[in-house]
Structure 1
Amino acid sequence: MKTPTDFDVFRTLSAQLGQNRLRVQGPGGNTSLKDGSVMWIKASGTELAQAEEADIFLAVDRAAALAEAHGKSGDGSCKATVLDPSCTLRPSIETTFHAALDWPVVAHTHSIATLAHAVSPEGLDAARDKLSGLPCVCVPYAKPGLPLTREILARIDPRTQVIILANHGLVVCGADVQATSDLMEDVEARLALPAHDTAHKPDSTPPTGFDWADESWIARDATALRLVTGGSYYPDHVVFLGPALPRSDHAGNPPAIVIEGEGVALRDGATPSQKAMLRCLSDLMARLPDDWTPQPIGTAAEAELLNWDAEKYRQALAARA
């Protein structure tokens, strides 16, 4: 299918976002480009980092995806909106909100700077102040896909270009690729927070079947240890690492465990996506101000993600990478 004239620069921006671990981790995040009645959207389970070297984008019927966004047809998965009947990939689980946002370019990231603000009430208040003057709204946490799309639609207006997703990430919209990139850089600069030192490698022997992770500083920081073992703060942590971080191994074979006072142990054979999500957790914890109170998404939200077919599909694809 013929691609739009700015498809190459769109792919370049997508790849740059995917290759920056402070913007996107593993198969997280997604971008879209509208071209008349067609919308190009990242396929579920693929990585933005590979946008220039692999065919990770699908062409979907935007009107059909918009109908699913408004609950007029389909189930919100947008599988039926893919224009190439021979394609075996699924569109991103976020396709409905991309279709619903009436801007030519939409970029959704799991920005660390945004997450650091978006996981606590104090952080969200600070983000509103820092982004003053921009066409921005904050949206409460909702399950990715159609529930999140509905929350977005309830709060945006035609001028909205920046969306802070509580316990999830950032959405930036623009009239073209360059305008979207420039706006995202502005948002990132406004929300940037300093990271404290995270250098620590345990001297002790890790548990059998594990090796010490570079993120082991978490086990020696009382605040970080309490937070990471007390809940999950964004969807992809649950999808790829399971709920919170356990303090010991168990029959569920968690990819990583945290041993207080020693380190974070990463299971032998952990996938690239699991490693990326552990880095994400470390990057987030290293930037949280001491006087902010992060709120986990909760056990009910975790259960929704763990039992969701769309996320099991994404996990399976990521495991093959």
Structure 2
Amino acid sequence: MPDTPADFKAFRAMSAHLGQDPLRVQGPGGNTSIKQGGVLWIKASGTELAEAETREIFVAVDRAAALAEAQGLAGDGSCKATVIDKALTLRPSIETTFHAALDWAVVAHTHSVATLTHAITHEGRTAAKDKLAGLPAAFVPYAKPGLPLTQAIMARTTPATQVFVLENHGLIICAANVDATTTLMEEVEARLALPARPVVPDLPDTAPPEGFVWAAESWIARDPRAAALARAGSYYPDHVVFLGPALPLGDHDGQPPAILIEGTGIALRGRATASQRAMLRCLSDVLARLPADWTLEPIGAEAETALLDWDAEKYRQALAARS
């Protein structure tokens, strides 16, 4: 195995800090990487950044080989073949290709609530461009995670670009070292911060459907606008992966992790995973910060189907279900 970078301890601490903040990362979402020479250390698919200091969640890959996959010159874009230690069973993140392609030592990708709230609306993206003026930022249209997203990012980057706002997806910050990455991320978060309006957290006083419990996010079902948005579509990939398309109004085939009962509450299946619970909280955090005059834009049925039928996401779901 290759030696880890000199600042690997600081890198792990930064990663854990991001993963432990639900306003930055939810469950197994997000990923971070650090480069040293020809080696790229990247979070493994399905692991959680929150555990970066307590578990071995990073996989060493051959950066040149990963870059070749990013450029479509080799492999299938999964970067599974680029793992240096062939005995490892963990896979590198499905987004390893853009980490390899971005020519910065440290890359941090989060599903920041502040960024998401801007990135899922036309008005928000326009506002974000104004708020981030003066920073080396690029705005990337929605693309399926993995190689399509990498290609969309590379089409809009320059050697100076360090901030990427990903439409209906999240945020990427790049810098020369851990401290610079953290400083730039805090600057972006401060500029994009939106106040959360007060919500009533009371749980319904009626019994939930059999096999369910009332979720702390039940306020969504009692707020007409929030309820309409929650059932209208999915706004970012991890919602689709862990909760399914939108929030259904009823149970079907015993599958939906959560159902929205309008005017009453959100019923969460008793066996819901930690990842599913985290994504329900994310939806609540986003909707609580959404300005009244911003119009949400779902990713659409075609994009949802592409995520649900993807083996890479089925693998991540399976790992998350064990936690």
Deviations 1:126-161 (A, max 9, x none): 000000000000000000000000000100100000
Q: Structure 2 CA distance, aligned partners of 1:223 and 1:73? A: 47
Find the residue that maps to 2:86 and give its secondary structure: coil
For 1:296, the aligned partner's letter is: P
Q: Is 1:19 the counterpart of 2:17 in the alignment? A: no
Shift of 1:108: 0.1
Q: Structure 2 CA distance, aligned partners of 1:143 and 1:221? A: 31
Match of 2:266 in 1: 264
Shift of 1:66: 0.4
Q: Structure 1 CA distance, aligned partners of 2:24 and 2:202? A: 24
Q: Which runs of 5+ in 2 are unaligned?
A: none
For 2:249, the aligned partner's letter is: R
Q: Structure 2 CA distance, aligned partners of 1:186 and 1:4? A: 25
Shift of 1:186: 0.2
1:70-81 paired onto structure 2 within 5 Å:
70-81=71-82
Match of 2:160 in 1: 159
Find the residue that maps to 2:289 and give its secondary structure: coil
Shift of 1:253: 1.3
Alignment counterpart, residue 224 of structure 1, candidates 223, 226, 243: 226
Alignment counterpart, residue 295 of structure 1, candidates 271, 294, 297: 297
Shift of 1:252: 5.2
Q: Structure 2 CA distance, aligned partners of 1:250 and 1:231? A: 17
Deviations 1:32-60 (A, max 9, x none): 00001000000000000000000000000
Q: Structure 2 CA distance, aligned partners of 1:310 and 1:114? A: 25
Match of 2:144 in 1: 143
For 2:44, the aligned partner's letter is: A
Deviations 1:52-79 (A, max 9, x none): 0000000000000000001000000000
Find the residue that maps to 1:108 and give its secondary structure: strand
Shift of 1:200: 2.6
For 1:257, the aligned partner's letter is: I
Q: Structure 1 CA distance, aligned partners of 2:116 and 2:95? A: 18
Two-structure CA RMSD over aligned residues (Å):
0.6
For 1:79, the aligned partner's letter is: K
Q: Structure 2 CA distance, aligned partners of 1:318 and 1:253? A: 16
Find the residue that maps to 1:286 and give its secondary structure: helix
Count of residue pairs brought into register by the alignment = 321
| TM-score, length basis structure 2 | 0.99
Deviations 1:232-265 (A, max 9, x none): 0000000000000001111151000000000000
Q: Structure 2 CA distance, aligned partners of 1:77 and 1:92? A: 8
Q: Is 1:41 the counterpart of 2:81 in the alignment? A: no
Find the residue that maps to 1:10 and give its secondary structure: helix
Match of 1:275 in 2: 277
For 2:218, the aligned partner's letter is: S
Q: Is 1:3 the counterpart of 2:32 in the alignment? A: no
Q: Structure 1 CA distance, aligned partners of 2:172 and 2:143? A: 14
Shift of 1:118: 0.1
Q: Structure 1 CA distance, aligned partners of 2:302 and 2:254? A: 18
Find the residue that maps to 1:106 and give its secondary structure: strand
Q: Is 1:53 the counterpart of 2:54 in the alignment? A: yes
For 1:207, the aligned partner's letter is: P
For 1:101, the aligned partner's letter is: L
Q: Structure 2 CA distance, aligned partners of 1:148 and 1:255? A: 27
Match of 1:233 in 2: 235
1:124-203 paired onto structure 2 within 5 Å:
124-198=125-199, 199-203=201-205
Find the residue that maps to 2:174 and give its secondary structure: strand
Match of 1:214 in 2: 216
Q: Which runs of 5+ in 1 are unaligned?
A: none
Q: Structure 1 CA distance, aligned partners of 2:309 and 2:61? A: 26
For 1:260, the aligned partner's letter is: E
Deviations 1:162-196 (A, max 9, x none): 00000000000011000000000000000000001
| TM-score, length basis structure 1 | 0.99
Q: Structure 2 CA distance, aligned partners of 1:233 and 1:256? A: 16
Q: Which runs of 4+ in 1 moved over 2 A?
A: none
Identical aligned residues as a percent: 70
For 1:222, the aligned partner's letter is: P
